[in-house]
Amino acid sequence: MRSLSGQSAWEDAAAVLPETLFQGLLQIGRECLEHLEELRLRRGFPMTALLPGGETETVGPRVGEEELRQVVENATQASAHTALDRVRQGFVTLRGGHRVGMCGTVARRDGQIITLREISSLSIRVARCVEGPARTLLPELMEDGTFLSTLILAPPGAGKTTLLRDFIRGLSDGDAGPPRRVGVVDERGEIAALCQGEPQFYVGRHTDVMDGCSKAEGLSMLIRGMNPQVAAVDEITDPADAAAIMSAAGCGVALVATAHGAGAGDLERRASYRELLAARIFRRLVVLERRNGERTIRVEEMP
């Protein structure tokens, strides 16, 4: 495994690759790799690199069991057997906030997933901390100096978590008014990416992070113990998430969250969001779109 210090984000993420796959990746060219979003390793096929223009095959051998096993061991700094016991949720977070997602054969005990017995494919997501959009967008999310609860809406891969992280930083550091206490529930370790208690992404000077717990658990603990002014969560996906957010809003906490979707119409068609819409929990909607490799952002009044 290569050193993670002083390198580009893609080099940090690709450090878990076996040497043969890494050398094949280099054939794409370092300038192009500065824009690398993901690496995909599927058993029986060449590794692919996801760039803004699409997914392309890399030079090198077809991915087999040995290559998949090496990536898992490098990612977890453990034997493959020990590592699989730690990835029942299907991913592991690397230092630097990069994430290795895993697919394979699920092993269950008493109806619960206990491990992935065999790995069939891996996704190495390159994480980048991008600062800037919050400074121009946050004033549109304020009313009389008060931050209005905001939902970030976008299809997968459009940059919801990156923008959420920048909003957290901007609110915490005072980009739009005085600094605010922000409590983050980092359920999948993607927002702050705690490693030994230290955020791998800068999320602001007045931010507190609960890592590795459900939204309901994390929001409850933050509100009871840390008195946040704003609470942040990633990816509302089911009724339990919506219920936790409504409970937090009832305690007087402003919220910023993300969800999958292409527009406000998507929210109205999904049961998990209809109650949130009816209760007017969110006052602003930030919609992200990606077309031809370019990202656009617009702010709307929540319907």
The number of residues making up the chain comes to 303
Per-residue confidence (pLDDT) for residue 83, from 0 to 100 = 55
Structure-token pair, residue 237: 């996906």
- The pTM (predicted TM-score) of the whole model is 0.76
Q: What is the pLDDT of residue 128?
A: 76
Q: What pLDDT score was predicted for residue 113?
A: 66
- Residue 4: its pLDDT value, please? 40
pLDDT of amino acid 38: 95
pLDDT at 1: 42
pLDDT tens digits, one per residue of 41-76:
999 999 999 998 889 999 989 999 999 989 988 988
Q: List the chain residues with pLDDT less than 50.
A: 1-5
Buried b (16+ CB within 10 A) or exposed e, 233-258: bbbbeeeebbebbeebbeeebbbbbb
* pLDDT at res. 115: 64
The two structure tokens encoding residue 163: 């923008």
The pLDDT assigned to 2 comes to 41
